[in-house]
Each structure stands twice: as C-alpha cells, then as structure tokens.
Amino acid sequence: MSHGCLVTGCWVASLHSVAPLEGSTVLYPLLYCKGEEKVTQPPGDVILTQGQTATLKCTFSTIRSDPYLFWYKQEVNSYPKFILRRSRYSADNSPEFVKDRFDAELKDSSVPLMIQDLHVCDSAVYYCALSVWNNGV
C-alpha cells in the first residue's frame, strides 16, 4: 500500500535586530520599496507517493546581485525548520536534511526544491524565503 505525501506553502518574512540601548534589542520588519523584492510559490497541494521525487517551485525577483534563498519545512503543530540556503556563491544544507535527498539549484529567478525518495514523514508545508543579507535575517 502506498502513502501520499502532501507538500505546499507560501511565505516571505524578514526581521532585523538592532541594539539602540546597551543591553536591549529591538526587532523590526525590514521594509522595501514596493516591487523590489518578491517571492512566489504556486498555490495548491502536491500529492505524490513514497519513493517518488517532488519538485516544489519557488520564483523570486530582487534588485540585489547576490540574494540568499531559503527553504523551510513546517510539520503540523511545529515551527518551520531550516532545510537549506542557496546563493550565487554558496550552498548549505541543515545536517537533518542531507543534500542527496533535499537539494535546490539557484537559477536566475527560481530556486526549486527537489525532495528525492519521498517518505511519509516528508508530508509538511514547505516555505521558500528570500533574504538580501547572508546571515538569513
């Protein structure tokens, strides 16, 4: 009996911290002029069976020359977990998400996530995010 995996999602967020007074930290959303930064994932679910390969689409537009793109996995009743980060000059995966199963190639305006040899435990919401800073905030 085969089990289906359900993968979907959309999310863009960016928070930055500053220390205006000694010993204090303030978080504030980073604001861009409209239309400068954009991340898009197609709506809807992807339904596959164990052993198949999922390709989750993510397109972006930015005025930055070296953006950082991230993928996160969020299971039910849990927080988003970092999967991987891609830039024009680097590629990093979380140890929990090995590159031979979870990979993404950064192209001019897209960074599709490929999940090979799907398992039932891969069922989750997957988020693509963009940062213009290399520390990912």
Domains of the chain: 4-131 (2.60.40.10)
Report which of residues 16 and 130 the model is more confident about. Answer: 130
Please compute the mean of the pLDDT values over residues 47-53 and round it to a whole number: 94
Q: How confident is the model at residue 119 (pLDDT cuts 50, 70, 90)?
A: very high
Maximal C-alpha separation, the chain: 60
Residues 64-84, mean pLDDT to the nearest whole number: 95
Supply the pTM of this predicted model: 0.72
Tokens of 119: 């398992």
CA dihedral 48, 120, 123, 45 (to 10 degrees): 20
Question: Are 58 and 128 spatial neighbours (Cβ–Cβ below 8 Å)?
Answer: yes
Mean predicted lDDT score pLDDT of the chain = 79
Reply yes or no on whether the pLDDT at 121 is more than 70: yes
Nearest-angstrom CA–CA distance, 99 and 92: 9
Which two structure tokens, joined as six digits, stand for 89?
A: 């000059």
Q: So what's the pLDDT on residue 135?
A: 54
Q: Which of 90, 122, 124 is nearest to 104 (CA)?
A: 90
- Asked whether residue 51 carries a pLDDT value surpassing 70, the answer given is yes
Question: Is the per-residue pLDDT at 133 higher than 90?
Answer: no
Q: Which of 5, 11, 115 is nearest to 56 (CA)?
A: 115
10 Å Cβ neighbour count for 47? 12
In whole angstroms, what is the distance from residue 137 CA to residue 37 CA?
14
**pLDDT greater than 90 at residue 59:** yes
Report the pLDDT value the prediction gives residue 65, as an integer from 0 to 100: 86
Tell me which of 88 and 133 has the higher pLDDT.
88
Question: How high is the pLDDT of residue 126?
Answer: 96
